[in-house]
Amino acid sequence: MIPTQQQFQHRSMCNDTVKWTWPKTLSCVLRLLFVGSFLSGWVLVVNAEAPASTQPAPNTGATIPDSAYQYPIPNPYLATVAGTPEPLQGARPEVRFKKRHLPQLEDREIPKVLWYGRRLQYSYAAQRHPAPLVYVIAGTGAYHTGGTNLDLMRAFYGAGYHVVGITSPTHPEFIIAASQTSLPGNLRLDAQDLHQVMSKIADHLPKRVKVTNYHLAGYSLGAMHAAFVAKQDVQDKRFNFERVVMINSPVTLYASISKLDRMLENIPGGVDNFNQYFSSIVGQIGNAYGRSTNVEFNQDLVFEAFKERPPTREELAALIGSAFRIASANMIFTSDVMTNFGFIKPKEVVLKNRSSMADYLQVGLRVGLTDYFHEFFWPSFEDRYPAMNRQTFAKRQSLHSIKDFLATTPSIEAIHNADDIILEHGQIHFFGEVFGERATIYPHGGHLGNITQVQTLAKIVGPPVNKPGVAKRAAAQNPTLASTGVKP
C-alpha cells in the first residue's frame, strides 16, 4: 500500500549521528555473495527447506511443473543468492566483447565530482555475417558488463545473434550521461532515454555489423524497462522488435522496492547495525580464508565459510536487501548531485574531484528506495503531473499501466518464477493472465537464481538463428540438454 502525504512521516537524514565505516573487503565479498542485478554469485547447494508458504502457480500461461524442471533449491531466498549449480547451467561460450563510448551529450552540465560518468559506455560482440541484434538491458544498479548481463549476452551470441549490453538507467553512469531528468524510476522517461541510447548505438556500431532485425531482452528492473521500451518503439518506429523477452520483471515498482526495503529489517538490531552485521560476514569468510590452503579468494572459499553454518532465511533476506541498498545508495547520491535537490548533499555544497564521500555514504546507506520515492522522486515530478497525486503516480510505474499493450503484442514474452521474492503475494498471476501462453512460469528459482539453468536459458534465448552450423555448435556446447533430452 502506498502511504498518503499525511501517513508518510518525513525523517531528517542529515541529523543522523550513527557512525559507519566501510570495510575495504566489502565490495569483494559482495561480488561473491550476490547474483543478478546485485553483482555475481556463489554456488551453494544445501538441504534448505522451502518457506512455509509460497505463491501458488498461476492457472494460465505455460506453468512448468516440478517434475519437469531441474532445479534443486526450493528455498527462494537461497536460490536468489546461490544461483544455479554448474552442472545444471546452460551453455554460455566465451566471447571477447568490445567496449565503446557514446559521445558526450551537448550542453550537459556535469558536476566535477561526477566527471567519470560523462560518456556512456556500452559493450558489443558482432557475428561475421548478417544476423539479428539483441539489446540486453541490465537490472537495478547494474553495469552493461555485470555478471548476469554478460551471461545473457554470451548465450545470445552463441545462438547466432549480434549482442549489445546496455547499462541500467539506475546506474550512476547512465544517470550522468544519458538520463534526461537524472531521476530514474519514471518508467516512461527511462524508456525514452533507453530508446534514444539504443538508437545512437545502432548508428555508432561499425559499418561491418550487418543487422537483419532487432530483439530486446532485460532482467529484473531491466525486464520492466524492456516492456516500456517496446511500447516506446511503437511510437518511434525505429526497431520494430521481432521479439522482446522479460525475465523476472516486477509488476508494480513501488511494491517491489517496498519489499526490498523491508528485507533490511532482518539485520539483527535493524539497519543501525548494518556495519556490525557485515563485519560478522567478513569475519566468517576471513576465518575460512585463514584455514584454507588456497590463496585465491573465490566462490569456493565463500562456500567453505558458510558450509558449517548456512545462512538462515532471515540472514539471506538481509544479504539481498543490503545488496540492493548499496546499489540504491549510489543511484540516489548521483541523482541528488546531478539535480542539486538537497536530499543527501546540501544544496550549497559544491563537491569536487577530491571531495570526501564518507559522510554521504553514511547517509546513503540509510536511505531506502521508498524514502527516495516519497522525499525526492515524487516531489521532483509533482509539478510536472498536476493531475496526479503520489499514489496515482506510483501506480503509473507498473505493468498494469500498459496491460492492454502487453496483452495484445504477440512479440513480447514473460519468463518468471512462481516464488520470486520481489513480488508480493499473488502478483505472479499477472503474467499468466496478461501474457497467456507467452508467459513461462518456473516453479522455483527465486529472483534470477535460475537464470542460467539450462532449460531457463534455452527458453530465454530461443532457437539458434541464421546458419545451420550455429545450431549444431549450440547443441555440442550444451551436453546437459543432449544427455537428458530436456526441452526448453
pLDDT digits (tens, 9 = 90+) for 446-469: 999 999 999 999 999 999 997 545
Q: What order do you get walking across the sheet with 439-442 strand by strand?
A: 62-63, 439-442, 412-417, 243-247, 211-219, 131-137, 162-166, 121-125, 98-101
% of residues, the chain, pLDDT over 90: 62
pLDDT for residue 302: 53
Average pLDDT of the residues in 206-217: 97
Residue 125 shares a structural domain with residue 214? yes
CA distance 456 to 445: 10
Q: Is residue 3 pLDDT above 80, yes or no? A: no
CA distance 260 to 239: 34
pLDDT tens sequence across 331-354: 999 999 999 999 999 999 999 888
Q: Is residue 22 pLDDT above 80, yes or no? A: no
Are 460 and 247 contacting, i.e. CB atoms less than 8 angstroms apart?
yes
pLDDT for residue 359: 85
pLDDT tens sequence across 238-290: 999 999 999 999 999 999 999 999 998 877 777 677 667 766 766 776 677 67
- Residue 266 lies inside a defined structural domain of this protein: yes
Identify the H or E element spanning 240: none
- Residue 344 lies inside a defined structural domain of this protein: yes
Q: Is 260 left (phi over 0), alpha (psi -120 to 50) or beta?
A: alpha
- Residue 315 lies inside a defined structural domain of this protein: yes
- Residue 349 lies inside a defined structural domain of this protein: yes
Residue 135 shares a structural domain with residue 86? yes
Identify the H or E element spanning 211: strand 211-219
Q: What is the number of H-type helices and E-type strands within the chain?
A: 19, 9
Q: How far apart are the first and last CA of the chain?
A: 37
* CA-CA-CA-CA torsion sign (28, 32, 34, 35): positive
Grid cell digits, residue 133 = 541484434
Residue 263 shares a structural domain with residue 156? no
- Residue 362 lies inside a defined structural domain of this protein: yes
Task: Select from 103, 98, 151 the least CA-distant residue to 122.
Answer: 98
- Residue 397 lies inside a defined structural domain of this protein: no
Structural domain that includes position 270: 13-54+257-391
Domain count, the chain: 2
Grid cell digits, residue 205 = 556500431
Looking up residue 188, the CATH number of its domain turns out to be 3.40.50.1820
Banded pLDDT at 237 (limits 50, 70, 90) = very high
Residue 40 shares a structural domain with residue 82? no
CA distance 114 to 173: 9
Residue 130 shares a structural domain with residue 183? yes
Residue 355 shares a structural domain with residue 450? no
Residue 81 shares a structural domain with residue 223? yes
- Residue 79 lies inside a defined structural domain of this protein: yes
Residue 156 shares a structural domain with residue 286? no
